[in-house]
Amino acid sequence: MSFRWDLVWSSMPMLLQGARLTVQLTAIAVFFGVIIGTIAGIARLSKGPQKYIAAVYIDFIRGTPLLVQTFIVFYGLPGIIGQPIPAYTAAVLALSINSGAYVAEIVRAGIQAIDKGQTEAALSLGMTSAQTMRYIILPQAFRQILPPLGNEFIALLKDSSLVSVIALEELVRKGQIIIGRTFRPFEVWLAVALIYLVMTFSVSRIVDFLEKRVKNGV
């Protein structure tokens, strides 16, 4: 059978709808993941009991598949809270929690890369530990962690395809629907792959641009 370009082009509107949802899910998940990860990363460097709580969270999430985490949130959590969770909410929750664990390690490494003398100098000037972290350490760490944060966004963009298993109609699920109608998997999956390539390439270029601006102090 010959390759059908007409099927690729006719499938694009539906696939782009799924791609838009994929980007939306990833952006929201990374936003909450950065918040969760920053808190967990700082807690991981503390000396209190929160250090061990953060370590358990990070090790559990990084040591288990995102697919299993999605199943736990979508199928397991409703049995605990007593009500079903919408697929979109479950996807955002699972992706955010997963991203948070990886961001936590990125943040921890970024903070540890800052010279300890900066902290000592800030404390000697009368700043509290919280003020030192907020105004001195984190702004400098941001320069260090921007590239790996960009990589995390790209990785999560691709990993978000796993939420198709809970029937959320993102890019991969849209592809499955089209294949079910046309029985032409090669053309459809190739179109899906090309859309992912465009999205990841675009994100990588944006991250490179932001990294240069940060390095130049703009």
- The model's pLDDT over 132-164, given as tens digits with 9 standing for 90+, comes to 888 888 888 888 888 899 999 999 999 999 999
The pLDDT score that the predictor gives to residue 95 is 97
Which domains are present in the chain? 5-215 (1.10.3720.10)
The pLDDT score that the predictor gives to residue 26 is 95
The pLDDT score that the predictor gives to residue 218 is 52
What residue has token string 């995102």? 66
Distance of CA 215 to the CA centre of its chain: 24
Count CA within 13 A, CB hemisphere, residue 186: 5
Which residues does the chain have with pLDDT short of 70? 1, 217-218
The pLDDT score that the predictor gives to residue 78 is 95
Kindly report whether the global pTM for this prediction surpasses the value 0.85: yes
The pLDDT score that the predictor gives to residue 133 is 87
Q: Cα–Cα distance between 182 and 40 in angstroms, integer?
A: 46
The pLDDT score that the predictor gives to residue 119 is 84
Q: Cα–Cα distance between 168 and 73 in angstroms, integer?
A: 14
